[in-house]
Structure 1
Amino acid sequence: MMTTIGFLGMPEADDDAKRIFEEDVEELGYVMNVSRLWAYQPRTVMSLFGLLREASSPHGLDARQRSILVVACASAFGDSYCSLSWGVRLAGVADEAIAAGVLLGTDAGLSDQERAMARWARKLARDPNRTTEADIQELRDVGIGDDKIFAMTVFVALRLAFSTVNDALGVPPDSEYRTHAPAAVLNAVTYGRPFQDDIAS
């Protein structure tokens, strides 16, 4: 039985946390390490996910676009956990070669609009103070309106907030990704926190 999660002791799960755990098991077959961490404040993470849906859904960000944004920002940020989790999702809605391309920054197989979105997400992750009006114009030039640019920016910023908490508190990626992530995705993620079993060994 786990006694710690990342650098912290394992929190006692209340009813809200148990509900998140049950949803993980129903969807994935196991409880994610991030869910165990956020058992400290399950209502906060539920609210955060609600904000993410509110930021993206009404503004035409579909599952593929959301996956591209998260994979691009997580890989630029050096977050192995979200890179693996969302790399798997992107492989599912596109294919593993496209997912690996976004993880590696080549963006092979993406449309011009998707490439612009990935570049924007990386700029937000690396240094948001260095963005320029030219960056915004690049997004407009591929057909992305200002309302969607704002939605994308909020979505990526909220994802980065989530990653910051997980990474700072030492939460390792779920070891289950070793068996169910596509090989191209696994091979592309060479940064960030190692798997739990690598830490133990």
Structure 2
Amino acid sequence: MSFLNEPAPSPAVQARYDADLDAYGFVMNLSHVWAHVPGAHTRLFELLAEVGSAFSFRERGILITGAASTIGDSYCSLAWGWKLAESGSGDAASGVLSGTDADLSPREAALATWARRVAGSADRTTAADVQELRDAGFSDEEVARATVFVALRAAFSTVNAALGAQPDAELGTLAPPEVAALVTWGRPVAD
């Protein structure tokens, strides 16, 4: 599941696993990592919910897949590629993952581009890049929220990758073929 041993059983660990079972029908490999520090996972996702509340589910998925594909995170690329496709747009998921941004509105494409810039080269963003977001209809608060959201998701991905969490075999099955075929980076899907 990961490079770590299974955490000691506790109510917090079981709650983490139960949440996955309720949401997905299986315990995600990354949850075995985060079960070592369940409070950190909870607080991280509370903060993600707070800053991400300005965006729709689809927009959050675009931010996540844009960032995940940029940093080579196969886990979140598959998980959110699947979620985006399930929400009705396999073309959008494939487009964001491939960097073509097919099936995205101009507003959504601006988000995907920003996610890639923040995740891949934050030190090279410019005022003109931020202006592109304003021109697409985003307020400065939304730009700040999108930036914090992407940075926190990149931190989440870094922990998962560093500790060897492989994408779940179930994700390899749940992700549509066009998404699974694109995700050739990062850790391979678990057996």
Q: TM-score, length-normalised on structure 2? A: 0.97
2:72 counterpart of 1:114: no
Aligned to 1:176, what secondary structure does the other structure show?
A: helix
Query: Where does residue 45 of structure 1 map in the other structure?
Result: 41
Report the residue type matching 1:86 in the other structure.
W
Moved more, 164-173 or 176-185: 176-185
2:60 counterpart of 1:66: yes
2:110 counterpart of 1:123: no
Which of structure 1's runs of 4+ aligned residues deviate more than 3 A?
Answer: none
Aligned to 2:167, what secondary structure does the other structure show?
A: coil
Q: CA RMSD in A?
A: 0.9
Report the residue type matching 2:60 in the other structure.
R
Taking the TM superposition and a 5 Å limit, the aligned residue runs for 1:32-181 are 32-57=28-53, 60-181=54-175
Q: Aligned-pair distance for 1:131?
A: 0.4
Q: Aligned-pair distance for 1:29?
A: 0.9
Deviation string for 1:28-57 (max 9, x for gaps)? 111000111111100110110000001111
Aligned to 1:190, what secondary structure does the other structure show?
A: coil
- 2: CA distance, partners of 1:151 / 1:94: 25
- 2: CA distance, partners of 1:188 / 1:13: 37
Q: Aligned-pair distance for 1:182?
A: 0.8
Report the residue type matching 1:51 in the other structure.
L
- 2: CA distance, partners of 1:148 / 1:101: 23
Q: Aligned-pair distance for 1:178?
A: 2.3
Report the residue type matching 1:109 in the other structure.
D
- Kept in 1, the 8 Å contact 2:30–2:165? The answer is yes
- Kept in 1, the 8 Å contact 2:7–2:13? The answer is no
Report the residue type matching 1:25 in the other structure.
L
Report the residue type matching 2:10 in the other structure.
D
User: Identity of aligned pairs, percent?
Assistant: 49
In structure 1, which of residues 22, 29, 32 is the aligned counterpart of residue 25 of structure 2?
A: 29
- Kept in 2, the 8 Å contact 1:104–1:188? The answer is yes
- 1: CA distance, partners of 2:52 / 2:89: 22
Q: Aligned-pair distance for 1:94?
A: 3.4
Query: Where does residue 19 of structure 1 map in the other structure?
Result: 15
Report the residue type matching 1:106 in the other structure.
T
- Kept in 1, the 8 Å contact 2:78–2:172? The answer is no
Aligned to 1:127, what secondary structure does the other structure show?
A: helix
2:178 counterpart of 1:184: yes
Q: TM-score, length-normalised on structure 1? A: 0.92
Report the residue type matching 1:29 in the other structure.
G
Gaps of 5+ in 2: none
